[in-house]
Amino acid sequence: MSTVYDFTVKDRQGKDVSLSEYQGKVLLIVNTATGCGFTPHYEPLEAMYKEFRDRGFEILDFPCNQFANQAPGDGDEIHAFCTMKFGTEFPQFAKIDVNGDRADPLFAYLASEKPFNGFGKGLKNAALNGFAAMNNKKYGAKTYIGWNFTKFLVDREGHVVARFEPTVDMGEVKNAVAAAL
């Protein structure tokens, strides 16, 4: 597979959605959780979506419960939380696994295009690195994503152009999205 457009995912109701429906748009694909220290990322994500969606920008939200069980609800509960607390309007898809034998093929592809290179420097990042390593060791070679709110930037041709770990400042993510637009 050569672009994200080759993948089909499930929407919140379990229906197939071909990512080719997003052809020609800049995408930010994110694995999310409702009970994570990074959950407040929903706020700048929604602000970015409102600012850029008229220019051909979409955020694709994939809830995942593989990181310390921080997304325990079902799809409807997660969606209700996100819309009520953060006013999210961007598409939210079915809850998935991003690591291990049941990892969604889209996330295995994204991670193969832009592999994990650590959470960065600093005490907070080092602590997350250790915690994630313990959490993710059960996935071995099929650990594709380090933690919740990993973001992949996809250009208008469907190529993965950047990966942002949850520790990356959201201003940097926004600047990259603006440049891709």
Confidence of residue 137 (pLDDT cuts 50, 70, 90): confident
28-69 confidence digits (pLDDT tens): 999 999 888 888 999 999 999 999 999 999 999 999 999 888
The pLDDT value given to residue 68: 83
| Token representation of residue 30 | 């994110």
Q: What is the pLDDT of residue 1?
A: 56
- With a cut of 70, say whether residue 139 has pLDDT above it: yes
User: pLDDT per residue over 102-115, tens digit each?
Assistant: 999 999 999 999 99
The residue to which tokens 């093929």 are assigned: 105
Within 8 A by CB and 6+ apart from 31, the residues are: 62, 63, 64, 96, 98, 107, 145, 148, 149, 150
d(CA 59, CA 152): 10
pLDDT in tens, 73-83: 888 888 888 88
Task: Give this prediction's pTM.
Answer: 0.93
Count of residues making up the chain? 181
Residue from 36, 59, 96, 103 carrying the catalytic annotation: 36
The confidence score (pLDDT) of residue 120 equals 77
pLDDT of residue 27: 98
Contacts of 165 (CB under 8 A, 6+ apart): 116, 118, 119, 120, 146, 147, 150
Please report the domains of the chain, with CATH numbers, ordered by start residue: 4-180 (3.40.30.10)
- Catalytic site includes residue 82: no
